[in-house]
């Protein structure tokens, strides 16, 4: 039986950007000393032992279905980590595990009921999935870093991301306060992508009292353990914030079967309960950032922002694709800035997610020029 498509609304999605790097990747792979792939933000360091032990523990032998909300102990552990690490107080009831953060980012507009006639504001330079999420909901999107940004329709959702992917930019408390205030005036939800927050000493959560005035109304903070705990392969994330919004998301996700596997829930609880490995991982990225930044600047590139997170935002004052090719000739693969919006056309994003050995190799090649 063939499904009817005459009334279907087609979703127009952009091409998957990394597919366009095939030739540059092949060129970088041809380097005699091998490729240094700095084009993606995939962790390469070991999963902490405390997390692996929890994954293989008693939760691995629970044959029944897990709950969408997760056990109270998981939500309490996450709430405790937010207080210790970021000075943020949340009710554990308002914590919801997600299957990583990408699926949540992609489906949040739809889950919130955003649709035709609505607008989603995304950063001028942004993680591509913000745009994809707006398109999946058949909403419009507008790129803007202004706290007072307007869209072609009713602004229903505003994304902020600090530290930023791709630029590593850290938004100030004042900037975030202005975003929150303006969004509340027009009844829009603010979703703060805080996936890199654990890797920064200066960034602040949208839920911090200095930003939100002690109220989480209309606010959602999206977190991932992929970067802080090297759990990209586990698909471990969560959202918290406005209790009413989280409760609504929970109900929809129950019906849709969007459930984090029980062993992963146990691993998340262990990761949230241990701060030492998070601090150690942040220090690893700091060392790699210092080494690679110096090498890129020595090679004539200018680094902008890049205070925190997993990336260096660099330009040689030429089209970014030309810089990608120049680096690929030296066996280094990076992402062109145009992946993240038109304003990135003369930039490249350089990841810190390669081993110390590979990062050192890349720095050596750049120092030799």
Q: What is the C-alpha to C-alpha distance for residues 192 and 207, in angstroms, rounded to an integer? A: 9
Per-position pLDDT tens, the chain of length 369: 344 444 445 777 766 777 789 999 999 999 999 999 999 889 999 999 999 999 999 999 999 999 999 999 999 999 999 999 999 999 999 999 999 999 999 999 999 999 999 999 999 999 999 999 999 999 999 999 998 888 788 999 999 999 999 999 999 999 999 999 999 999 999 999 999 999 998 999 999 999 999 999 999 999 999 999 999 999 999 999 999 999 999 999 999 999 999 999 999 999 999 999 999 999 999 999 999 999 999 999 999 999 999 999 999 999 999 999 999 999 999 999 999 999 999 999 999 999 999 999 999 999 875
Compute the C-alpha angle 352/194/74, nearest 5°: 110
How many CB atoms neighbour CB 127 within 10 A? 24
Give me the pLDDT at residue 367, please. Answer: 86
Domains within the chain, CATH numbers bracketed: 17-46+277-368 (3.90.1150.10), 49-273 (3.40.640.10)
Cα separation, 296 vs 306, in Å, equals: 13
Tell me: the pLDDT tens digits for 139-195? 999 999 998 888 788 999 999 999 999 999 999 999 999 999 999 999 999 999 999
What's the rounded Cα separation, in Å, for the pair 265 and 307? 31
Joined together, the tokens standing for residue 269 give 């609880």
| Predicted local distance difference test score (pLDDT) of residue 9 | 56
**Contact status, residue 264 vs residue 236, Cβ threshold 8 Å:** yes
**Is residue 190 within 8 Å of residue 179, measured between CB atoms?**
yes
> b/e per residue, 163-201, with b = 16+ CB within 10 A?
bbbbbbbbbeeebbbbbbebbbeeebbbbbbbbbbbbbe
Residue partners of 54: CB distance under 8 A and separation at least 6: 266, 267, 269, 270, 271
Tell me, what's the pLDDT at 17? 73
- In this prediction, residue 10 carries a pLDDT of 73
- Residue among 33, 104, 13 nearest 363 (CA): 33
Cβ–Cβ < 8 Å for 211, 87: no
Helix (H, G, I), strand (E, B) or coil at 245: helix
Percent of the chain as helix, strand, coil, to the nearest 5: 45, 15, 40
Residue 11: the pLDDT is 75
CB 222 within 8 A of CB 194: yes
Please return the burial class of 116, using the count of CB atoms within 10 Å of its CB with bins 0-12, 13-18 and 19+. exposed
């Amino acid at each position: 039986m063939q499904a009817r498509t005459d009334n279907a609304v087609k979703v127009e999605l952009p091409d998957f950007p990394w597919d366009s790097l095939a030739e540059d990747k092949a060129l970088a792979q041809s380097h005699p000393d091998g490729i240094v792939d700095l084009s993606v933000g995939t962790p390469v360091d070991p999963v902490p032992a405390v997390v692996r032990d929890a994954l293989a523990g008693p939760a691995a032998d629970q044959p029944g279905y897990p709950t969408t909300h997760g056990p109270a102990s998981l939500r309490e552990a996450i709430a405790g980590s937010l207080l210790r690490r970021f000075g943020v107080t949340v009710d554990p009831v308002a914590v919801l595990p997600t299957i990583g953060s990408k699926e949540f980012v992609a489906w949040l507009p739809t889950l919130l009921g955003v649709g035709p006639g609505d607008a989603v504001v995304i950063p001028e330079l942004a993680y591509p999935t913000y745009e994809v999420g707006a398109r999946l909901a058949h909403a419009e999107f507008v790129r803007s870093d202004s706290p007072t940004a307007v869209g072609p329709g009713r602004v229903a959702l505003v994304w902020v991301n600090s530290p930023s992917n791709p630029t590593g930019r850290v938004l100030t408390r004042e900037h975030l306060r202005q975003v929150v205030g303006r969004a509340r005036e027009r009844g829009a939800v603010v979703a703060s992508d805080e996936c890199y927050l654990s890797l920064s000493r200066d960034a602040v959560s949208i839920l911090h009292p200095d930003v939100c005035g002690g109220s989480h109304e209309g606010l959602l903070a999206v977190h991932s353990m992929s970067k802080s705990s090297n759990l990209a392969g586990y698909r471990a994330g969560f959202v918290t914030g406005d209790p009413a919004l989280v409760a609504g998301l929970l109900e929809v996700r129950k019906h849709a079967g969007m459930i984090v596997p029980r062993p992963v829930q146990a691993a998340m609880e262990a990761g949230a309960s241990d701060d030492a490995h998070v601090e150690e991982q942040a220090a690893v990225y700091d060392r790699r950032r210092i080494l690679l930044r110096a090498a890129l600047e020595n090679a004539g590139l200018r680094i902008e922002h890049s205070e925190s997170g997993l990336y260096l935002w660099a330009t040689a004052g030429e089209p970014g694709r030309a810089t990608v090719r120049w680096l690929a000739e030296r066996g280094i693969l990076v992402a062109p800035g145009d992946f993240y919006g038109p304003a990135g056309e003369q930039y490249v994003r350089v990841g810190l997610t390669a081993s110390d050995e590979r990062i050192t190799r890349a720095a050596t090649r750049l120092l030799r020029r």
